[in-house]
Amino acid sequence: MSDGGLNLDDFGDLIERPSVRLRRRAEERRTRTGLAPKALGRLDGLGGWLAAAQGRVPVTPVASPRAVLFAGDHGVAALGVSARPAGSTARLVRRALDGDSPAAILARQAGVPLRVVDLSVDCPAEELPDEVTRHRVRRGSGRLDIEDTLTAAEAEQAFRAGMAIADEEADAGTDLLVLGDLSVGGTTAAGVLIAAMCGTDASVVTGRGGVRVDDLTWMRKCAAIRDGLRRARPVLGDQLRLLAAVGGADLTAMTGFLLQSAVRRTPVILDGVVSAACALVAQRVAFRAPDWWVAGQASGEPGQAKALDRMALEPLLDHGVAVGEGTGALLALPLVRAAGALAAELPELPDDETADEAADEAGDALREADEAARSATAAEAT
């Protein structure tokens, strides 16, 4: 609970798991399609997840997804922990708005609206559109190694902004959210949060970032995470104070967004290490919340792998794409949409046809076993 009156304990009561009963019904329906068990691989599990989240069987195909990118600068970038210059997030935002960033191109190709939300970009607010800056908390976040990144009031404002954005999307009919970030120094803040939550050392979670850094930059980043950890550990029991200490406005808002999306029963595809760190904090607030999320892609960041393992989330893809900015989640979106379409549109066979399919599969298995036994006998004879 924060001094400002935001009670995070409420999320534990407000968030329910997606329906286990409906997930079982979706699995039972799948057995009546005539396809062999596991023939669709992870698509079967995704289809069941969507059915449970939507509360209906058969599932409705994903029709109104939205990509939301939270933007902010981090004061720790001044230490040279990123390949990008400190305070340069505004360039990333403009590229996304102009349609020139990888995430913007992927979103356009998929026909998905892309929303950018400025929480703490270090530029004059008038340089960006009003719809981008209307949730801005401050201009840049503090240096996590030596000071709190936010005041208590700013942390609550950022958290509530994330909640409001989740409500806006749910009210607009968004049925699947794709989460990403635009930041310079954000992976360093994420590393501190993950190391603190997992009780591990800075070197275990320190990666090379979305723009791969050299060894000297990596060492500076590791030192910054170590210093941030010293400040994070004393406030581990209060997640809002933790986010204020080392998270910055964008990560704090993303945490509120994830929790409120779960309250509103809106599933989310996570992107890279930053969204994984926010998800890990959100899990500490409400242990049922991760059931509403899937991990889009393995980014190669050790901190992301640590966080996802802690939440028992397995990435859908692993293509070595490390650019961040929502690209990994957007790459996974077609897979989730395909799972929804298959779960919705594969017809159920009549009982007699289903029985015939099962008998054919059993016969095929027996024939394969018989051929394997004959081959083994022939090999022994020779």
The terminus-to-terminus CA distance of the chain in angstroms comes to 75
Contacts of 46 (CB under 8 A, 6+ apart): 294, 316, 335, 336, 339, 340
CA-to-CA dists, residue 199 to 60, 174, 191, 231, angstroms: 41, 36, 12, 14
Minimal CA–CA distance to 183: which of 110, 298, 103?
A: 103
- φ, ψ of residue 45 in degrees (nearest 5): -65, -40
Beta-bridged to residue 294, according to DSSP, are: 269
Residue 377 is predicted with a pLDDT of 55
pLDDT in tens, the chain (382 residues): 444 479 999 999 999 999 999 999 999 999 999 999 999 999 999 999 999 999 999 999 999 999 999 999 999 999 999 889 999 999 999 999 999 999 999 999 999 999 999 999 999 999 999 999 999 999 999 999 999 999 999 999 999 999 999 999 999 999 999 999 999 999 999 999 999 999 999 999 998 765 667 889 999 999 999 999 999 999 999 999 999 999 999 999 999 999 999 999 999 999 999 999 999 999 999 999 999 999 999 999 999 999 999 999 999 999 988 899 999 999 999 999 999 999 999 999 986 554 444 444 544 555 565 566 566 655 555 4
Please tell me the class of the 65-342 domain. alpha beta
Active-site annotation holder among 127, 325, 371, 380: 325
Q: How is residue 303 annotated by DSSP?
A: H
Per the CB < 8 A criterion, the answer to whether 46 and 39 are in contact is no
Residue 47 is predicted with a pLDDT of 96
Distance CA 343, CA 296 (A): 19
Establish whether 353 is a catalytic residue: no
Rounded to 10°, the helix 186-198/273-285 angle is 40
CA-to-CA dists, residue 27 to 21, 33, 55, 155, angstroms: 10, 10, 14, 42
Per the CB < 8 A criterion, the answer to whether 96 and 182 are in contact is yes
Using only C-alpha atoms, what is the Rg of the chain?
A: 23
What does the CA dihedral 314, 315, 316, 322 come to, rounded to 10 degrees? -170
CA-to-CA dists, residue 239 to 107, 206, 211, 269, angstroms: 32, 21, 29, 22
The helix (run of H) or strand (run of E) holding residue 10 is helix 10-14
Residue 320 is predicted with a pLDDT of 86
Three-state secondary structure string covering 315-372: CCECCCCCCCCCHHHHHHHHHHHHHHHHHHHCCCCCHHHHHHHHHHHHHHHHHHHHHH
Q: Model-level pTM? A: 0.90
Q: Is 141 left (phi over 0), alpha (psi -120 to 50) or beta?
A: beta
| Pairing outcome for strands 65-73 and 176-184 | parallel
Per the CB < 8 A criterion, the answer to whether 159 and 242 are in contact is no
Distance CA 95, CA 116 (A): 11
The SS3 call for residue 124 is coil
Q: Where are the beta strands (DSSP E) in the chain?
A: 65-73, 114-120, 176-184, 268-270, 293-295
Contacts of 85 (CB under 8 A, 6+ apart): 77, 184
Residue 358 is predicted with a pLDDT of 46
Q: What angle do CA 233, 235, 239 make, to 5 degrees?
A: 115
For residue 5, the tally of other CB atoms under 10 A from its CB is 7
Residue 83 is predicted with a pLDDT of 86
Per the CB < 8 A criterion, the answer to whether 2 and 240 are in contact is yes
Residue 207 is predicted with a pLDDT of 82
Residue type, 278: C
Domain ranges of the chain: 65-342, 351-382
- φ, ψ of residue 362 in degrees (nearest 5): -65, -40
